[in-house]
Amino acid sequence: MTTLFDPLVAGELRLANRIAMAPLTRNRAPGAVPAAITATYYAQRASAGLLITEATAISQQGQGYADVPGLYAPEQLAGWRRVTDAVHAAGGRIVTQLWHVGRISHTSLQPGGGAPVAPSAITANSKTYILDADGRGAFVPTSAPRALALEELPGIVADYRRAARAAIEAGFDGVEVHAANGYLIDQFLRSGSNRRSDAYGGSIENRARLLVEVMEAVTAEIGAGRVAIRISPVTPANDAADPAPQPLFEYVVAQLARWPLAYVHVIEGATGGARDFQQGDTPFDYAALRAAYTAAGGKAAWMVNNGYDRALAEAALAEGRADLVAFGKAFIANPDLVLRLRAGAPLNAWDSSTFYGGGEKGYLDYPTLAEAAVEAAA
């Protein structure tokens, strides 16, 4: 029987176990440059079969939150090189998540103070994180976006291609294209945010066109075996909405079967919320989603995410519903999560007040089992 602790080959990624650290935004990259503490943070968690970095902007236009990292300037690549070197020295594997937030941004974060971009000029009922004049972080409503012109879309695709190449140059083992959680690619997919009447709007095929073009570009640039994608079929995150997610995402995964990807990462339910959340009239059928992918010839590893503990994760593997399981908040508070899961040891509780922004507190100072034992004996 397959367990969380068995190795796995996913595309060109050779993983020591089937436990992934989910991408987790932490807002600790001033000036969009990964800090020295970021290398320590990821290296502490390198026992995961795979580390997926926090979402990383492919361009300044793609930035949507203060103090999140980028992948488009030399100093950013140098910062990420420190991270990848530290993770590899600790025996880990790490990919970065390529991110364009689309309309989930604020004018203060955009080039020249311009409006964020989106498929259509529809403001999201959502918030983003910016710094005030005194450098204090705060959540504020997103700014009204402008619709991308048709002639701008090849440039967006080119930004993804450049970011993928930059990631490899910075030492990453691969990339995960962020097509989930109501960000740009997801905005194009969903009818709630895409009201276009050109080749990128209307039908499912048209709404998925940008995703397909991005995947074509990224896989051609660095090889499909180093490329993955994240989707979230029913999440309401960032005002994502579509009344018919089943046919939409079954079409999406059938298109993804074109390439021998490393893995497909699926958020089940509402991101960070109810696993049984649904949009539309019927519950989403995740087994049918994977069946659609397999029927189209897809062979990538299947990663599941959202609210998994060890028992639920082991059941998903044993029943063939997943090949990899991503854990989020548990990895924030437990740098040695793999060891704790294997030993059935209790987990540290996380402090949500330190999730976003700050320094080492709530970032580097959660104790491992060994450290806790030393403290207890002192």
Q: Helix 153-169 and helix 74-89: axis angle, to 10°? A: 40
Question: pTM to 2 decimals?
Answer: 0.97
User: What's the confidence (pLDDT) of residue 369?
Assistant: 95
In eight-state DSSP terms, residue 112 is G
Q: What is the DSSP string of 242-274?
A: -S-HHHHHHHHHHHHTTS--SEEEEE-SSTTS-
Burial (0-12, 13-18, 19+ Cβ within 10 Å), 369: middle
Whose tokens are 């030399």? That residue is: 74
Q: What is the pLDDT of residues 121-178, one digit of tens each?
A: 999 999 999 988 778 888 999 999 999 999 999 999 999 999 999 999 999 999 999 9
How is residue 244 written in tokens? 């018919």
- 8-377 under CATH 3.20.20.70, yes or no: yes
Could you tell me whether strands 174-178 and 94-99 are parallel, antiparallel, or unpaired per DSSP bridges? parallel
Helix (H) or strand (E) holding 7: none
Per DSSP, the three-state class of 62 is coil
How is residue 324 written in tokens? 């990899």
Residue 183: active-site member: yes
Catalytically annotated residue among 42, 65, 72, 183: 183
User: What's the confidence (pLDDT) of residue 371?
Assistant: 87
CA dihedral 107, 111, 113, 116 (to 10 degrees): -30
CA 370: distance to chain centroid? 30
User: What's the confidence (pLDDT) of residue 1?
Assistant: 84
Whether the Cβ atoms of residue 366 and residue 333 lie closer than 8 Å to each other: yes
| The residue count for the chain | 378
Q: How far apart are CA 343 and CA 313, in angstroms?
A: 15
Q: What is the pLDDT of residues 71-91, one digit of tens each?
A: 999 999 999 999 999 999 999
Sequence-separated (6 or more) residues with CB below 8 Å from residue 92: 42, 43, 45, 46, 47, 48, 51
